[in-house]
Structure 1
Amino acid sequence: MTNNLTLKTAIRTALMGSVLVAGSQTAFADGIPPHERQPLFGDLHVHTNYSLDSYFGFNPNGPREAYHFARGGEVNLFASASPKLKVPLDFAAVTDHAETLGKKAICTDPKLKAYDSDSCVAIRNKSQSREQAECNFLGPQKEGCIQVTDPCDMDNKVCQVKTRDQWQNIQDAAEDFNAPGQFTTFVAYEWSATGNQNPGSFHRNVIFRNHNVPNTPLHSKLPESQVPDQNGEMIPSPEKLWTWLKSECTEENGCEVLTIPHNSNLSYGSIFREPENRGYAELQQEMEPLVEIFQAKGDSECRVGVGSNDELCDFEKRDRRQARKRCPKGSTLSKLPSPVQLEDSWLSFLPSRDARLYCVPICKENSNPRENDCAWPNSYVRNGLKDGLAYEKYLGVNPFKYGIIASTDTHNGISGATEEDQYNGHHGAADNTPEERRVGGVGGYLGTNDINNPGGLAGVWAEENTRDSIFDALKRRETFGTSGTRLKIRLFGGWKYADDMHRQPDMIQQAYEVGVPMGSDLPNTRVDEKTIPKFLVWATKAPNSANLQRLQIIKGWLDKKGKTREKVYDVACSDGLKPHPKIHRCRYNPKTVINTVDLTDCSYSPTTGAVELKTVWTDPDFDSSERAFYYARVVEYPTCRWSQWDVARTILKPIPNVPATIQERAWSSPIWYSPSN
């Protein structure tokens, strides 16, 4: 959806004598009440051929092409693909790897002496590119990686100049394509850090409010980004990044910035690791208001058997599916209602009847999940949110008070290309054909192509489509993420909501006036100790996708013994059904669940499900002494996964152990509750 300026905004702008031009910094949102905020969709994680790993993949698209594509333009990709979005994005940010901006520029300039170095020759040798990409990014800790001379080590001054030149080009592209009221760009980059002892990533996208930015990006291999580890070796530190950004990006120079971690599922738990002290936790909360929950390299929400007993956690995971084992007795999964315990007519909706029976082992200390098919509990957003409650109790601050977004992490410069039926891959020549997507891969670091996906979208509720308005929404965490479709979702919390407020035409205005939106803390304004919080939750279907199946609220809390817990509540069901009053699940109806998708042509039922779901929900298990968070999730009826679209259009057979269908979804940002004491 491209959001045009409202009439009121145009009048205000005219009265102020402002002119709407590309790159203008005019703030249009003054005077627009909160309930008139509107949903905008974007992509805050986009790589172009300015990133070395994108260049390796024969990607012809730079920052300008990425923004042209985001606005609805067509770009060249490969001989067989000239992709174009069905609907333009509202906003985007090019986030190329800061670590390789100078390298790529040096190695493609024949005038420089490093051009003929072994490293640059390897970089330009496309047949070696995938393995070389791992060597460049992962360094000596990657077993079997043949190290070559870093071209920036050969002439660091030239590398610094080239990095600044590329950084300026990125800024220029953002300024030239920024069109307030129509399309918003953000100057940005990625800080791509990995540890010394393992390839677990703790990457951050660095997003600036406007054109006032540092002269050069700080990358993870510079001394300013590093601290000594327990062995005295220098390693990247997010704290050093945040400290540098605070010193370089100040109110005095008109600069403002935030960072967004991504791929916690590939982080070995480093995204949600224990903060070193209260100061670290405070800095993290200040600089990092959001987390990317979903992208092309998988879902990071939660994991079945790893702190969660939610069958919908089994969604776009990056393990080898044939390696998963049946969950042992006594695992958290055994707490799910079983068919024996319930009437057949009240079984939960499940992606498959066996989904709840499979677990991935929890990693032991120093285990490599890519080699041992295990998972770290603190590699998932929901577990991080739960841990944040405990840290808040003991440190006085919650370092993981994250709002939710999603994005693509495309390395083709095709911002927002998330349609399953138009998937051309996101990693260059490695996955640009149906055949490559079945058997190919982009190296051990990224795994095989069949476990990748088209990625997700970032959603914000903002007054206008401008930098200031969207950045403000990001900062206050009034955001949501989708798995790729344009679902809309909102969550509000308060103490005085009427049970029928969701039926009122002014429900959103009421929700703001007597409560708070997602991303906020519930105010300590309870009438008495018996007052229980209520939540207004609302979602609408995406155009060109299946109808809604159910609307959920996920609660996490810290119990009286200091243990973190979670529970999933279905709060609104489609097809006239209601959640079971005891197990809080939508009634299972085989007639509306089975065979809603024709796998031969990927058509699906246009009548099954709901166009809109909304309700006011009261927490039936509320305990005023326990810290808690609540976020909403809406789930569509099944549609074909990209891999099944490839099967339907070719003579190829289905990929073993890969689901034919998925359930697209959206996640709201949480609302937090803390005891008044």
Structure 2
Amino acid sequence: MSMRSGLVAPVLILFLTAGSLAQDSPPAAPKPGADYSPYPKQDFPNRVFFGDTHLHTSYSTDAGMFGNTLGPDAAYRFARGETVTSSTGVPARLHRPLDFLVVADHAENLGLAPLIEESDKRLLASEWGKRVHDLTRAGKPGEAYAMWGAAVTKREDPLKNIAGLMESMWHRITKAAEEHNEPGLFTALIGFEWTSSPDGSNLHRNVVFRDNKDKADQVIPMSAYDSEDPEDLWRWMARYEEKTGGQVLAIPHNGNLSNGLMFDTVTLSGKKPLDRDYAERRSKWEPLYEVTQIKGDGETHPLLSPNDEFADFETWDKGSFGAAKEKDMLPREYAREALKQGLVYKQKLGENPFKFGMIGSTDSHTSLATSGEDNFFGKATAMEPSEDPIRFEERITGYLPDPQGRDYAIRHYQASASGLAAVWARENTREALWDAMARREVYATTGTRPIVRVFAGYGFTDKDLYRSDFAKYGYDNGVPMGGDLKQSDKAPTFLVRAMRDPDGANLDRIQIIKGWLDSAGKTHERIYDVAVSGDRKIGADGRAKKPVGNTVDVKNATYTNAIGAPFLQAFWKDPDFDAGQNAFYYVRVLEIPTPRWTTYDARYFGLKRPDDVPASIQERAYTSPIWYNP
């Protein structure tokens, strides 16, 4: 061995020993109190979660007695991404799982269809229950449903004297929620629907619990048998919170089917003008509004917003479930007009009864929370995907005769494949999601999953759009969607970012919609295009006149992302700000045109596409407003 080779081993041993010592020795500790990681102290919402707050299963009588055989367990499994066979035998799956779900079955005779299926002894001991059971088992569910509908209309609960019946079905629902709730992975929020329908007008609310089963089981859901007045629902909610120490909120929906009652100027029972007490209670118990779902879009109407070329979207304006609509009802049915009237009440009463954030959800009665145009399983089991004419032609409204003999029927091909609720929160838990809903840091989508963020303040500049700490800076120096701006002599500035659904269509534009109250007490609205895709220009009037274009191939039900942009952002300063005027601002994000579900169906089943609905639509998102109230 040479001297050179003899030195290798000691040197190698020395090197390995030094390395081992370095690994075994702890690193030098930083100074006490040093904060190297920026994240332990961050507490602002940093994730958006998508879900459905309005899904019906077989436990809803108007679902279970019309063929839906899937209960809450199947609904949760489907929402979590599993393949579930629908009630008509069709395998169904979401393209991506949801983050959360509220099974919101109707409280009125909750679980009646499963009780019939099980031939429940308690049900059969009732003369009415046995009659409904026997009709259903004899293949006459329509007659059985008509019996039930007559009872609901009269507000006479036919099963009220059967002790423990409703409790047992409610406990099944809360048990399913508990079994599927996995904090951090998937949230199963407990809830139900209170189905108020005076004279067939839709005043429905979904009640959502922040709590677990132990608290929710201490009550029985309030139903329309108890009362059809929302003020009585709020009293029920207050009693629940007092009794259990828990928390609940209510989400109204379908103002477009309320025939002017959803945002009425008088109370339902007393017909008294709204006062401050009413305004405070409504704002507290109903922080959100379901602005889009299967039964049409409720942002605005072309007669209310004639300068909004995007206002006529999935419009349902023929009537309620009981009568045709009069045009003077429209201002009391749509979100944008209600937000404007809320400014009037704020000025008059010192409180705003219509201060709500906006979400979307499905209102599906199939147990399948589908909101994709290419994966739409319909309003109810009878209208699930099929070449049967019922898929397009079944009436959703218009069964009851209009007092004046008018046709107000809306058919299923006019149903919308909508929508979803997007929630900005820190974590995927009941508490975090509910708290975000309560503070209105949410937005609605018509079924797709774009990511939208907005901050408003007084010191933002256009350079802040490019900050690496965009979200932290926004929270530190402004307010997010659902927030309130403090009084200022400065015009507010806005930072907006929008990113397309990664599996979806490019974006057309970002708009800010402003509503305000002038010194004469008159409300106004204006739309500002703040970011547009392509080489289009925004004019001095704040609008881009040129449409984005349309790549939809109607025959083949396809489109391309050759137009639009995957990401848009904008800095905007209100050019018409008046420090003395009440105002609100919300963001609307429009996607490029894509095929409507009826176009996909026509292609898949070889059917004639209905010619009075568009072949393509522009999916969209609406954020909760930001309010300025001097």
Q: Distance in 1 between matches of 2:258 and 2:178?
A: 33
Task: From 614, 618, 626, give the equivalent of 2:581.
Answer: 626
Per-residue deviation, 1:121? 4.1
1:174 partner SS: helix
Q: Which residue of 2 aligns with 1:346?
A: none
Q: Which residue of 1 aligns with 2:609?
A: 654
Question: Quick check: 2:368–2:377 contact (8 Å CA) kept in 1?
Answer: no
2:94 partner SS: coil
1:571 partner SS: strand
Change in 2 beyond 3 A, CA 1:139/1:370: farther
Q: Does 1:565 align with 2:524?
A: yes
1:181 partner SS: coil
Please list the CA deviations of residues 312-357 of structure 1 after superposition, one character each: whole Å capped at 9, or x if unmatched. Answer: 111111247xxxxxxxxxxxxxxxxxxxxxxxxxxxxxxxxxxxxx
* Aligned residue-pair number: 569
Question: Quick check: 2:65–2:113 contact (8 Å CA) kept in 1?
Answer: no
Please list the CA deviations of residues 451-493 of structure 1 after superposition, one character each: whole Å capped at 9, or x if unmatched. Answer: 1122200001100111111111111111011000011111211
Q: Distance in 2 between matches of 1:368 and 1:659?
A: 27
Per-residue deviation, 1:140? 8.3
Task: From 284, 295, 298, give the equivalent of 1:297.
Answer: 295
Question: Quick check: 2:192–2:221 contact (8 Å CA) kept in 1?
Answer: no
1:370 partner SS: coil
Q: Distance in 1 between matches of 2:545 and 2:397?
A: 44
Q: Distance in 2 between matches of 1:240 and 1:450?
A: 36
Q: Which residue of 2 aligns with 1:328?
A: none
Q: Which residue of 1 aligns with 2:211?
A: 210
Q: Which residue of 2 aligns with 1:554?
A: 513
Task: Name the amino acid aligned to 1:643.
Answer: T
Per-residue deviation, 1:107? 4.0
Question: Quick check: 1:388–1:400 contact (8 Å CA) kept in 2?
Answer: yes
Q: Which residue of 2 aligns with 1:424?
A: 377
Q: Does 1:166 align with 2:169?
A: yes
Q: Distance in 2 between matches of 1:32 and 1:188?
A: 33
1:545 partner SS: coil
Q: Distance in 2 between matches of 1:297 and 1:123?
A: 28
Please list the CA deviations of residues 115-170 of structure 1 after superposition, one character each: whole Å capped at 9, or x if unmatched. Answer: 664444455566553x86577457687xxxxx8x96x43x5231x51110011011
Question: Quick check: 1:105–1:162 contact (8 Å CA) kept in 2?
Answer: no
Please list the CA deviations of residues 75-104 of structure 1 after superposition, one character each: whole Å capped at 9, or x if unmatched. Answer: 121445111111000011100000121644
Please list the CA deviations of residues 205-263 of structure 1 after superposition, one character each: whole Å capped at 9, or x if unmatched. Answer: 0000021225333433344xx3xxxxxxxxx211111112111223x734111000011
1:659 partner SS: coil
Q: Distance in 2 between matches of 1:133 and 1:308?
A: 42
2:109 partner SS: helix
Q: Which residue of 1 aligns with 2:234?
A: 242
Task: From 48, 58, 68, give the equivalent of 2:67.
Answer: 58
Question: Quick check: 2:482–2:625 contact (8 Å CA) kept in 1?
Answer: yes
In angstroms, what is the RMSD of aligned CA positions?
Answer: 2.5
Q: Distance in 1 between matches of 2:195 and 2:114?
A: 18
Change in 2 beyond 3 A, CA 1:100/1:374: farther
Per-residue deviation, 1:406? 0.5
Question: Quick check: 2:531–2:569 contact (8 Å CA) kept in 1?
Answer: yes
State the TM-score, normalized to the length of structure 2.
0.85
1:603 partner SS: coil
2:250 partner SS: strand
Q: Distance in 1 between matches of 2:381 and 2:253?
A: 21
Q: Distance in 1 between matches of 2:533 and 2:305?
A: 28
Q: Which residue of 1 aligns with 2:125?
A: 113
Q: Which residue of 1 aligns with 2:29?
A: none
2:280 partner SS: helix
Change in 2 beyond 3 A, CA 1:644/1:102: closer
Q: Distance in 1 between matches of 2:87 and 2:260?
A: 37
Q: Which residue of 1 aligns with 2:352?
A: 398
Question: Quick check: 1:488–1:666 contact (8 Å CA) kept in 2?
Answer: no
Question: Quick check: 2:73–2:176 contact (8 Å CA) kept in 1?
Answer: yes
Q: Does 1:635 align with 2:590?
A: yes
1:453 partner SS: coil
Q: Does 1:261 align with 2:252?
A: yes
Question: Quick check: 2:53–2:361 contact (8 Å CA) kept in 1?
Answer: yes
Question: Quick check: 1:52–1:100 contact (8 Å CA) kept in 2?
Answer: yes
Per-residue deviation, 1:498? 1.4
Task: From 588, 591, 596, give the equivalent of 2:551.
Answer: 596
Q: Distance in 2 between matches of 1:443 and 1:635?
A: 29
Q: Distance in 2 between matches of 1:73 and 1:209?
A: 25
Question: Quick check: 1:292–1:407 contact (8 Å CA) kept in 2?
Answer: yes
1:610 partner SS: coil
Q: What are the residue-to-residue correspondences of 1:38-117 with 2, within 5 Å?
A: 38-101=47-110, 103-104=112-113, 106-108=115-117, 109-111=119-121, 112-114=124-126, 117=130
Q: Does 1:272 align with 2:284?
A: no
Question: Quick check: 2:64–2:114 contact (8 Å CA) kept in 1?
Answer: no
Comparing 116-125 and 169-178, the one that deviates more:
116-125
Q: Which residue of 2 aligns with 1:407?
A: 361
Question: Quick check: 2:202–2:321 contact (8 Å CA) kept in 1?
Answer: no
Structure 2: stretches of 5+ with no match in the other structure: 1-38, 268-273, 400-408
Change in 2 beyond 3 A, CA 1:622/1:372: closer
Please list the CA deviations of residues 598-644 of structure 1 after superposition, one character each: whole Å capped at 9, or x if unmatched. Answer: 11222212221111111111111111111000000000010000000
Question: Quick check: 1:164–1:215 contact (8 Å CA) kept in 2?
Answer: no
Task: Name the amino acid aligned to 2:546.
Answer: Y
Task: Name the amino acid aligned to 2:506.
Answer: N
Q: Which residue of 1 aligns with 2:4?
A: none
2:495 partner SS: strand
Q: Distance in 1 between matches of 2:230 and 2:452?
A: 31
Q: What are the residue-to-residue correspondences of 1:336-351 with 2, within 5 Å?
A: none
